[in-house]
Amino acid sequence: MNTSFILRRNGSALIKKWLATLAVFSMMQWAGLSQTAFEAIPKQNMGMYHVDFARHFFASPEAEKAERAALYASLKQLESLKGRVAASADNLLNAMQLNGNIQVLLHRHHSYLYLRHAINTNDDASINDDFKLNSEVNSGTAFLRQEVIQLDDRSLADFAAQKPALKAYLFAIDGIRRHRPFVLSQQEEEILDTTAPFNTMWQAELYDKISANTPIIPPKSQGRDRREEAFKNDYAATGAQRDIYAFILTHLASARDKLATLHHFPDAPTEAYFESYWARAEVDNLLEQLAKQADLYKRYQLLRADHVKKVFGFDTVNLWDINVNPPGMPPPRFTIDEASRIIREALSPLGPDYGRELAALLDPANGRMDIVPGDHRKGGGGGFSLGFIGTDSVFFTQGFYGRYNDVRALAHESTHAVQRQLMTDNNVLPDYAEGPHYLFEGFAIFSEFLLLDYLYTHETDPSLKQYYLEQFFDGKGMEMFRVAPEVAVEHAVYDGVRKGSVKGADDLDSLTKKIYSRYSIWPERHDELKAEWIYIPLMYDDPFYDINYVYGSLLALKMFELYKSDPKHFAPPYIALMKNGFTAPPEELLKHYLNIDLQDPALLSGATKILKDKVDLLEQSYKE
C-alpha cells in the first residue's frame, strides 16, 4: 500500500533566493543604523530552538536503526496474511490494523530521517535510508491492495456484518477498491515499488543539491542598482545550470508519465489528480477560468508599480523595485517570542482545543521547532512540518530571521502540525490521517488570513497598515493567480515531453514565458522570468502538488468570508472538520461541516469579489 510523503510548499516561485539574499543585505544595513542589533532568536536561547530528537523520535541514529526491527516485525506479520486477506473477516480486519500500525511506525522513521537531512543536506545516509525504508514498505505491503481490490460488494458487506469493527475501515477499503482499473499484478507492483528510487526519486535529490550549491553572488552596487544586480546575479548563477535542470525535469516527466501509462492512466497528471477525486479536465478548466480572471491580478501588480513609481519618483518600475520599503520605514521585525504570541492571539478565535495544541508546538521547552540558521540546511523560502498520527509534529525552517515572511510561514505550517495533533487526540485511524491535500492547504492559508487580519486591525500606524494589506496579496491572497501558471507549466512540460516538443532548456523557456504572460505583467518586461520553470521546487520535489494551493486558496477565501460574517459560529464546525480526518470524499466533508459546495461556480466568483474589494482598499490607501 503506497505511502506518500509530502513536502509542503511555502511561498511562490517569485519569492526566490534573490529576494531572500537582498532582504538579508537590507537587514544588515538597518541593523547598522541601530545601536542594538536585532536578534530574532536571542543567542542565549538558541539551544532551545532545535528539535529534541530523543524526546520525539529516536535518541541517536543507532537507536533509530535498532528500532527499525519493530517496523520490520509488523511488516512480517502483515506479510504472513499474504494470499489470505480476503479469506475471512478476521483476516481483513487484522490486515487493516497491521497496515495502520506500519504506517505509524514508518512515518516516525521518515520524519526523523528527513529532518536530519534537512538540518544537514550533506547527510546523504539519512535521506537514502528514508528512500530505502519507503521502498521496502511499499513493496512489502503491495499485496494488500491487490487482495482488497478483489473483494466484491457482497463479501465486504458480509465481513462487516460478522466483524462490526471493520465498519470503521469501509471508506479506506473503498478508497483502495476504486483503484481497481489501475492496478497491475502483484509481482509487477512490487517491482515498481522496489525500483521507485531509481525511477522517480533521484531527480528531487539532485535538484536540491544543485540548488543548495548554487553560489549566492553578493551585489556590489548600491541603492536601486543593488537590487537590479541581485536579481540578475541570481538568474545568471542559476541559469548556468539550466541544462542540468532541464535534464532533471524532462527525465522526471518521462519516467512519471511512463509509470502512469503502465497503470492504465492516460498521463501522469491524471494519475496524480485521481487521488484527490479530480479529473484533469476539471483542473485544466479551473486554470483557464483563472487565466480569464487574471486581469484582477494584473491590476494589483500595476497598482503596486504605480505606487512605487510615485513614492520614489522612478521613471520605470521593475520587478526588483516592488518590495522596496518607503523612505525611513524599515520592514517590521519580530522576535520569536513576539511571533509566537501574535500567532497564538491571531488564531485564538479558533477555540481552546486549537489554542492548546498551537501553544504546545510553539513552546521552546517542548523541543518541537528547529529554526536556528546554519550551514547546509534545507532551503525553500519558508518551512515545513512533519508528523503523523501518534507522533508529535515538528516545524523546520532554514532559519527564523524575524521577517514577516518567517512569521507567516510559522503560522501556515503550525496549522498542519496542529491538525495532526487534533486528529491524534480524536483517535483518527492512520488510514484517515492523509487525504486530498488542498484541504490541508486551505486550513493553513486560512490561518495566514487570520494572522494578517489580526496584524492589520491591531495596527495604528497607517504605513504599517498599508504594509500588512500589501502582504495579504504578496502572501496567499493572490495565491491562486500566482500558482496557476506553475500548474499550467507543469502540465505543458509533461505534455511536451510526451509529444517530443519539449527536449531542453530553450523549449522550457519558451512555454514558460507564454504561459506566465497570461497571468502577470512581468514576463514581458523581464526576459529572465522565462526561466521560472527552474524556480518551481515542487515540480521536482513533489510533482502535481501545486494545484493544492490553487484549490486551497479558493477554500481559504471562502472560509475567511464565512468567518468574518459569523466568527462565533464558524469555529466549532471548522475545528470539528480538522479533527475528523479524511473519512469521506472531500466534497462530502466540506458540505457536511461548512456547507461549502466545491462545484458551485460562485466559489470562484466569491473569491475574486473578496480580492477585488481588497484591491480597492489598497488603492484607496495609496491615494490617502
What pLDDT digit, counting tens, does each position of 302-357 carry? 999 999 999 999 999 999 999 888 777 888 999 999 999 999 999 999 999 999 99
What percentage of the chain reaches a pLDDT higher than 70?
A: 94
Same domain assignment for residues 52 and 194? yes
Strands (E), 520-569: none
Evaluate whether 319 touches 231 at the Cβ level (below 8 Å): yes
Q: What phi and psi, each to the nearest 5 degrees, are found at residue 369?
A: -125, 140
Answer yes or no: is 290 within a domain.
no
Answer yes or no: is 268 within a domain.
no
Nearest CA among 74, 90, 86, 80 for reference residue 165: 90
Check pLDDT > 50 for residue 17: no
pLDDT band at 495 (very low <50, low <70, confident <90, very high): very high
Looking at residue 36, its pLDDT comes to 56
Nearest CA among 2, 508, 3, 1 for reference residue 253: 508
| Single residue among 163, 192, 213 that ends a domain in this structure | 213
Looking at residue 195, its pLDDT comes to 84
User: Worst-scoring range by mean pLDDT, 68-72, 310-314, 497-501?
Assistant: 310-314
Burial of 44 (0-12, 13-18, 19+ CB in 10 A): exposed
Looking at residue 186, its pLDDT comes to 78
Check pLDDT > 90 for residue 382: no
H or E element in which residue 391 lies: strand 391-396
User: Worst-scoring range by mean pLDDT, 247-251, 285-289, 341-345, 600-604?
Assistant: 600-604
- Segment 109-125 shows an average pLDDT of 96
β-sheet with 369-370: strand ranges across: 369-370, 391-396, 384-388
Check pLDDT > 80 for residue 60: yes
Answer yes or no: is 206 within a domain.
yes
Looking at residue 188, its pLDDT comes to 86
Same domain assignment for residues 58 and 188? yes
Looking at residue 519, its pLDDT comes to 96
Q: End-to-end CA distance of the chain, in Å?
A: 59
What percentage of the chain reaches a pLDDT higher than 90?
A: 82
Evaluate whether 37 touches 333 at the Cβ level (below 8 Å): no
> Cell 504546545 appears where?
360
DSSP letter for 581, please. Answer: -
Check pLDDT > 70 for residue 181: yes
Looking at residue 121, its pLDDT comes to 92
- Segment 430-437 shows an average pLDDT of 93
Nearest CA among 578, 371, 506, 448 for reference residue 12: 448
| Single residue among 178, 213, 248 that ends a domain in this structure | 213
Same domain assignment for residues 336 and 208? no
User: Worst-scoring range by mean pLDDT, 177-186, 282-291, 304-313?
Assistant: 177-186
Cell numbers standing for residue 3:
505511502
| Single residue among 154, 181, 213 that ends a domain in this structure | 213
User: Worst-scoring range by mean pLDDT, 104-113, 195-204, 265-274, 284-293?
Assistant: 195-204
CA 125/CA 430 separation, integer angstroms: 28
> Cell 500566482 appears where?
482
The strand pairing partners of 391, in sequence order, are 388
Mean pLDDT (the chain, rounded): 91
CA 129/CA 220 separation, integer angstroms: 42
User: Could you tell me if residue 331 is left (phi over 0), alpha (psi between -120 and 50 degrees) or otherwise beta?
Assistant: beta
- Spell 62-86 as b/e; 16+ CB within 10 A means b: eebeebbeebeebbeebeebeeebb
The strand pairing partners of 386, in sequence order, are 394
SS3 of 272-311: the string is: HHHCCCCCHHHHHHHHHHHHHCCHHHHHHHHHHHHHHHHH
pTM: 0.88
Check pLDDT > 60 for residue 21: no
pLDDT band at 189 (very low <50, low <70, confident <90, very high): confident
Helix residue ranges per DSSP H, 57-88: 61-79
Residues 6+ apart with CB under 8 A from 66: none
Give 153-159 contacts, CB < 8 A, sequence gap 24+. Answer: 155/86, 158/89, 159/88, 159/89, 159/92, 159/93
- Tens of pLDDT, residue by residue over 259-279, are 999 999 999 999 999 988 999
> Cell 509529444 appears where?
499
Q: What value, to the nearest 5°, has the Cα angle with vertex 623 and ends 622 and 624? A: 90
Determine the 3-state secondary structure of 480 from DSSP.
helix
Answer yes or no: is 95 within a domain.
yes
CA 159/CA 172 separation, integer angstroms: 15
Looking at residue 363, its pLDDT comes to 98
Check pLDDT > 90 for residue 139: no
Calculate the alpha carbon distances from 270 to 48, 282, 343, 497 in Å.
Answer: 45, 10, 38, 16
Cell numbers standing for residue 482:
500566482
- Segment 18-31 shows an average pLDDT of 44
Answer yes or no: is 200 within a domain.
yes
Evaluate whether 133 touches 106 at the Cβ level (below 8 Å): yes
CATH number at residue 57: 1.20.140.70
Kind of pairing between the strands at 384-388 and 391-396: antiparallel
Looking at residue 1, its pLDDT comes to 36
- Tens of pLDDT, residue by residue over 550-583, are 999 999 999 999 999 999 899 999 999 999 999 9
Residue 575, domain extent: 329-467+547-623
- Segment 69-96 shows an average pLDDT of 97
Check pLDDT > 70 for residue 18: no
Looking at residue 380, its pLDDT comes to 65
Answer yes or no: is 491 within a domain.
no
CA 609/CA 560 separation, integer angstroms: 13
Check pLDDT > 90 for residue 141: yes
CA 344/CA 458 separation, integer angstroms: 14
Check pLDDT > 50 for residue 26: no
Same domain assignment for residues 60 and 194? yes
> Cell 520525539 appears where?
56
Nearest CA among 364, 375, 366, 365 for reference residue 339: 364
User: Could you tell me if residue 595 is left (phi over 0), alpha (psi between -120 and 50 degrees) or otherwise beta?
Assistant: left
pLDDT band at 381 (very low <50, low <70, confident <90, very high): low
Answer yes or no: is 525 within a domain.
no
Kindly report the number of other CB atoms within 10 A of residue 310's CB atom. 11
Determine the 3-state secondary structure of 164 from DSSP.
helix
Same domain assignment for residues 345 and 208? no
Check pLDDT > 60 for residue 14: no
- Segment 391-398 shows an average pLDDT of 95
Count the domains in the chain: 2
Answer yes or no: is 21 within a domain.
no
Burial of 183 (0-12, 13-18, 19+ CB in 10 A): middle
CATH number at residue 431: 1.10.1370.30
Residues 6+ apart with CB under 8 A from 526: 318, 319
The strand pairing partners of 396, in sequence order, are 370, 384
Same domain assignment for residues 208 and 337? no
Evaluate whether 586 touches 435 at the Cβ level (below 8 Å): yes
User: Worst-scoring range by mean pLDDT, 48-52, 346-350, 602-606?
Assistant: 602-606
User: Worst-scoring range by mean pLDDT, 2-11, 240-249, 390-399?
Assistant: 2-11
Burial of 169 (0-12, 13-18, 19+ CB in 10 A): buried
- Segment 459-464 shows an average pLDDT of 92
